[in-house]
A and B are shown apart, each in its own frame.
Chain A
Amino acid sequence: MSTLRMGLREGGREILAFSLGLVPWAIATGIAMRASGLSIGESLAMNVLVFAATAQLGTLPLLVSEAPVWLILATAAILNLRFVIYSAAMAPAFHDQPWARRALGSYLLVDVVFLVQGPGLLQEQDAQRRWGRFLGAGLWCWGTWQIASLVGIVGASWVPEHWSLGFMGTIALLVLLVPMCRERVMLVTALAAGASALLLRDLPLRTGVIAAVIVGLVAGYLFERRQQGVARER
């Protein structure tokens, strides 16, 4: 068996248990897209093209309210900023790979793949096997995600509208946010951004979201600097 095929199997096996956690999330995302008014075709297209649950769920309210395109893209980009960190951390594992692999890798690099595979891949010496492990894990997650979302996208048709299934999207975002907030500085950031979003909710074209994100970033930055200042004085 080639080292590439060996890697593929290995990657799939390594991610298997973690990928199951994607299932409820994917179903919730599928349902939330339909509940906010997207057709089955539009939901499928969004799911395959964007393939980033947080950006999908976060932009749904903006898509529905016909917010300007630049605002939708800016919101998606901000929600994606964490990927820039992943990208920087994973880059050494891709330096010796051809461009096509780096391009496909950029599409498949989701949270769970980075968190589970990242450390191991950076240590893997064999380039073929390293790519195999990444691809195996990435494709497995992609397939799991698409199939489970499809269940939500199609299943949403049978649920009565007054069940407020769109709230599934909000729950999914909360599930992502809560563990982050175990770190005090993240809690401060999220609360500052949330409070500002409420105060600024009537700014035109829903630009309050972006303004609130900036307030949150600055609050987090200042809080961390203060924390470090206090630590140094001791």
Chain B
Amino acid sequence: MGEWRLYGIFALMFFATWLTRGAFLLAGERVRLPAGMQRFLRFAPAAALGALIAPELVGGTGQPLDFLSPRLVAAAAVVLVVLRWRNPWVPFLAGMGVLLALQHLGG
């Protein structure tokens, strides 16, 4: 059971993704998205990303909040780099570099 649980979840996630991408493609000409709804949905990605990233950087379930964590400092480096350069590799190199350096220094 445990072994197949993940595959079952992936199958369900397939439908969750396929149906959102296909919402209006599959429905054909019958359905259109109201403008008010469209404005509200615009905020969903930023809200979801904020809610998912913050605990990873500052402290998640059962952990104390740490506003000086190596991960938060590394994330700050990533933000600076993304704002400055368009090269897609740089954020990963900068983020991992800072994180590993701080972890190394911290022992």
A77 interface residue, CB < 8 Å from B? yes
Who on chain B is nearest to A190 by CB? B50
Q: In the assembly, what is the distance between CA of A44 and CA of B74, in Å?
A: 29
Does A158 interact with chain B (Cβ within 8 Å)?
A: no
- From A72, A177, A217, B40 is in contact (CB under 8 Å) with A217
Shortest Cβ distance from B95 into chain A, in angstroms? 4
User: Shortest beta-carbon distance, A144 to chain B, in Å?
Assistant: 12
Interface string of B44-71 (1 = CB under 8 A from A): 1111111111111111111101000001
Q: Are B20 and A77 in contact (CB under 8 A)?
A: yes
Give Cα A94 to B21, complex, Å: 13
Please name all residues of chain B whose beta carbon is closer than 8 Å to the beta carbon of A174 when the two chains form the complex: 53, 75, 78-79, 82, 91, 95
Contacts of A55 in B (CB 8 A): 13, 16-17
Looking at chain B's contact residues, is the secondary structure mostly helix, strand, loop, or mixed? helix
Would you give the shortest CB distance from A217 to chain B, in whole angstroms?
A: 5
Segment with Cβ contacts to B, from A1-9, A45-53, A118-126: A45-53
State the Cβ distance, A227 to closest chain B Cβ, in Å: 12
Taking A73-B9, A80-B17, A171-B95 as known contacts, 19 extra A-B pairs with beta carbons closer than 8 A to each other, sorted by chain A number, are A49-B13, A63-B9, A75-B52, A80-B16, A82-B41, A83-B17, A171-B96, A173-B52, A174-B78, A176-B45, A180-B45, A181-B46, A194-B51, A194-B53, A201-B59, A202-B62, A213-B47, A215-B47, A216-B50
CA distance A24 to B57 in the complex (A): 21
Q: Which residue of B lies closest to A205 (CB)?
A: B61
Interface of B toward A, CB cutoff 8 Å: 6-7, 9-14, 16-29, 32-33, 38-63, 65, 71, 74-75, 78-79, 82-83, 88-89, 91-92, 95-96, 99-100, 103
On chain A, the residues within 8 Å of B22 by CB distance are 87, 102-103, 105-107, 109
Contacts of A212 in B (CB 8 A): 47, 50-51, 54
Complex: chain B residue closest to A188, CB-CB = B46
What are 23 sample pairs from A and B whose C-beta atoms fall under 8 A apart? A24-B92, A54-B45, A61-B55, A75-B48, A78-B44, A79-B44, A81-B41, A81-B45, A88-B32, A102-B28, A164-B103, A167-B99, A173-B53, A174-B75, A174-B95, A176-B45, A180-B45, A180-B46, A191-B50, A194-B51, A195-B54, A202-B61, A212-B54
